[in-house]
Structure formats: C-alpha cells, structure tokens
C-alpha cells in the first residue's frame, strides 16, 4: 500500500510548505502518540539538528505527543545515529529525529526510530498515516503526557562512540581536522576525537540556525581540504548536518569517499577474521570497489539507492557492513544505522593497527571514472521498456565488457533520468555517457 506522507527516509520538504508546517507536525506528533499509546504508555525521545526551524517543530511534536497522552524526553541537538542509540539503550518506545540531513537550512524533515534503533516497520508508518486522517482529540487532563529534557544525552553518546574502538589504541600523535557542518555533531565529534587522544582542529562548529551544511561538511569538503593542508594534518573528517554521513580527506588533500572508506573497513575486518556476509552497496557503488572487494574474497551485493534499502539487504544477507558512496556507512557490528563518527573511528583504528596513512589504505582500491548526466524529462518514460534506449545501452555494455557498466535510473524526486556510465578510461566513459544521454533525450522528444 502506497504511503501518503512517509518516503524512504521519513518526511522531508521545505519549511512552511506542506507537509513541513507547524500544524502538520502537531498532528503528526498526536498521530504517532496515539499509535505508540495503543502499544504501551511509555516515553518517546525527540532530538533535532541545528536548523532554526527545529525549535518550532520540536514544540509542535511535543504538544501533539502530550495531547495523545505520551511522555516526551527532549534531547536538543543530537546526531541522528545518536538518537537511534539512545532510543535503543534507554528502551524508549520510539525516537523522533527533526532533521533534513545534508539539505540546506530552509528544509526540514522527520524520521522515526523503533525501540531497536532501526527505522519503523511499514505497518507502523501506515498506522500513523491512518490517524493523520482522523480528527485530533486530547486525552483527559490526568492522562496528558509530560515532557522533560534529558540533560546527559550528549555525554552518553560520546562515551558510546569512544567505546567502539579499543582503549589500548594510541591516537596521541594524530592531528585531525573535524568539520561538523555547523550541524548536530558540533558539540560531540570534537570531544570524541580529542578524548581518544588526537589533536583536533575543529571547523563548522558555530551553528546559528542558518549555516548548517553551508559550504562545509560532507557535501562540500573543499574547506576541509584547505584546512588539512594548511595545518599539515594527518587527515580530515567531514560529517553532514545530522552526522550520518562521512567523507574523509587524506594528508595530501585528496578526498576519500564512502566507497573507499567501506573498502578500508571491509579489508580491516577481513584481516581480523571479523567479516560476516557480503558488503552491501547500491546501484551507484563504484565498480572499482566491487573489483577490490572481489580480490579480497568479499562479495558485493547492490541495493537500490537509499540507506533504508542498504539496511534491508544487510538484514537479508546477514551482513555487517554496507553503505553508499555519499558517505552513509552502516557498521552493524557497532550500531544500527549510518553513523559518521563511528565509521571514522574504525578508519582511525585501522590506521593504528596497520601503521599506514589514510592515503596508503585507500590505494588498495582503484576507483573507476564514473560520469553522471541528468536528462530532464517533460513526460514519464520507462527507459527499461524503450527499445531504442535499451539497444544503445547494450551496445555500450558490449564495448565496456567486465571493465565497466551502464546504469539508467529514473529520479524519485525530480523529473530526471540519470544516465551513468563507468569504465577504465575517463575520456571513453564521457563519450559513452554523452551518446546515451542523447539517445534518452531523443526518445523523450519522440
């Protein structure tokens, strides 16, 4: 059954435009509260990132939950994976995250975690949507929910992150630049890395409600690159606004993306005899990662784009490691969702175990040039069922052989068909991608 409000990663949009409005969030808090109250009377955690609209939506959700008779524990600014962790360890009925992740400040969104620290099951989301269509009511005064702040939330999560690497490891001689994107990790990530002994240079730690992800963080690592080089740091760590993405920079100023980081973690786990199941990537995972893993004797399976689908496939294949080239990295032996700080700590630990720099560790995997062209569509078209497009795809695939691949993907959020070609040689890949994009454009105009 199609959902009316929930997408693959909760509900997201521009602040002030439906559904991201104060009245909708009030009703959503009530609807979710009614569903949770039907199961048992317990508390729900509510955390947020640093965008200015978080104050408004935190209050709206609190009021809705209270009207439904559910107690609320307010966490204030907290990374998304931190909220998942606290939901699980405090045995809350659910965790609610107010965040639009890597989006600009004028967007916001809502997502939920179950008591297990994972995304809500579809049936619960459907039930919440059912209540959204009913008139809002308020329980009798004696049954109203209560709200209070959880003062030690940040400290609990800091200790949890530090515990994900052995205390015997010595990080005293590491100089690290940490970019928190003026987001939810601003008061957490610098403490984590300094408390394990590293010298930390912090940037992106002065949120004002409007500067989250603004030319900083995992989606814009250029400032991090410059800071690493200027300070002759060993590496740089870039997180996004809600802390579930990680991009790193080596001492030479070269960007290390999610695919390369997953490869490093997989190789480390394999060497330690801790690797279980395949690595789960997505349709966009670089072919170089697949080949690099194959040389290690590790299979790669591909999910649809989106961390929800990666998690589903990890569960299905009994894996412990997966993610996306954008930097969503899920280490299921450490946590239950994508966590930028936890993933970064695993990389630092491998540097200590191996005695190698990040630059040396990433060299085991050779990324293939990957060209992506977005073709605007004025009408709906399924490229998989268009004979001309498929003929062009097969011709290019035959030329690439097993040293390349082609992917056509219809965007779920924009009127676009994404044309991606990957192969050994960038100039050849560019030519093929352009040919295919022109074929798609011709098919759309036909």
Output the six-digit token pair for 176: 């690290």
Report the distance separating Cα 354 and Cα 311, nearest Å. 29
CA 33 to CA 263: how far, in whole Å? Answer: 41
What is the C-alpha end-to-end distance of the chain, expressed in Å?
33
The contacts of residue 304 (CB under 8 Å, 6+ apart) are: 282, 283
Helices assigned H by DSSP within 98-171? 122-132, 153-162
Contacts of the segment 343-347: beta carbons below 8 A, 24+ positions apart: 343/246, 343/261, 343/265, 344/193, 344/237, 344/246, 344/248, 345/161, 345/162, 345/164, 345/165, 345/192, 345/196, 346/164, 346/165, 346/265, 346/268, 347/248, 347/261, 347/264, 347/265
CA distance 97 to 371: 34
* Residue 154 neighbours by CB under 8 Å, 6+ apart: 78, 82, 187, 188
**Residue 439: other Cβ atoms inside 10 A:** 22
Closest by alpha carbon to 81, among 50, 103, 49, 107?
Answer: 49
| Site of tokens 């990080």 | 171
Which residues make beta-bridge pairs with 422? Answer: 370, 405
- Enumerate the active-site residues: 101
Residue located via tokens 């500067």: 211
Angle of CA points 411, 101, 28, to nearest 5°: 90
C-alpha atoms less than 13 angstroms from C-alpha of 1 in its C-beta half-sphere: 11
Which residue in 171, 149, 152 sits closest to 160, CA to CA?
A: 152
**Sheet of 235-239: strands edge to edge?**
199-203, 175-179, 235-239, 246-250, 255-256
If residue 290 lies in a helix (H) or strand (E), which one and from where to where?
Answer: helix 287-295
């Amino acid at each position: 059954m199609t959902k009316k409000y929930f997408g693959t990663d909760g509900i997201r949009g521009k602040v002030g435009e439906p559904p991201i409005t104060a009245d909708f969030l009030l009703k959503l808090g009530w609807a979710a509260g009614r569903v949770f109250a039907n199961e048992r009377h317990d508390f729900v955690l509510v955390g947020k990132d640093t965008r200015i609209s978080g104050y408004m939506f935190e209050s709206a959700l609190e009021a809705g939950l209270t009207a439904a008779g559910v107690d609320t524990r307010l966490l204030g600014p907290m990374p998304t994976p931190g909220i998942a962790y606290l939901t699980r360890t405090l045995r809350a009925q659910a965790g609610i995250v107010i965040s639009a992740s890597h989006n600009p400040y004028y967007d916001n969104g809502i997502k939920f975690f179950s008591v297990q620290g994972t995304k809500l099951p579809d049936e619960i989301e459907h039930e919440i949507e059912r209540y959204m269509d009913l008139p809002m009511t308020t329980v009798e005064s004696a049954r109203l929910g209560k709200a209070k702040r959880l003062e030690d939330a940040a400290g609990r999560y800091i200790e949890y992150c530090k515990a994900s690497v052995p205390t015997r490891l010595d990080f005293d001689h590491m100089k690290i630049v940490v970019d928190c994107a003026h987001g939810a990790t601003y008061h957490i990530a610098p403490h984590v890395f300094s408390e394990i002994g590293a010298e930390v240079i912090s940037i992106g730690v002065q949120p004002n409600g409007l500067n989250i992800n603004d030319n900083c963080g995992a989606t814009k690592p250029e400032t991090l690159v410059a800071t690493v080089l200027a300070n002759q740091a060993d590496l740089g760590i870039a997180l996004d606004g809600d802390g579930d993405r990680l991009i790193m920079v080596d001492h030479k100023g070269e960007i290390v993306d999610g695919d390369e980081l997953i490869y490093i973690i997989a190789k480390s786990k394999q060497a330690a005899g801790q690797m279980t199941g395949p690595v789960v990537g997505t349709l966009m995972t670089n072919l170089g990662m697949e080949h690099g893993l194959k040389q290690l004797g590790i299979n790669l399976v591909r999910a649809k784009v989106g961390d929800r689908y990666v998690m589903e496939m990890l569960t299905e294949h009994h894996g412990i490691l997966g993610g996306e080239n954008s930097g969503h990295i899920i280490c299921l032996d450490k946590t239950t969702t994508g966590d930028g700080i936890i993933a970064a700590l695993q990389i630092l630990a491998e540097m200590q175990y191996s005695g190698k720099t990040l630059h040396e560790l990433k060299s085991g995997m050779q990324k293939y040039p990957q060209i992506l062209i977005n073709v605007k569509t004025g009408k709906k078209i399924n490229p998989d069922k268009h004979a001309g497009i498929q003929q062009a795809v097969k011709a290019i695939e035959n030329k690439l052989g097993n040293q390349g691949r082609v992917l056509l993907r219809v965007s779920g959020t924009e009127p676009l068909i994404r044309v991606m070609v990957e192969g050994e040689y960038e100039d050849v890949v560019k030519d093929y991608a352009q040919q295919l994009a022109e074929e798609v454009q011709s098919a759309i105009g036909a």
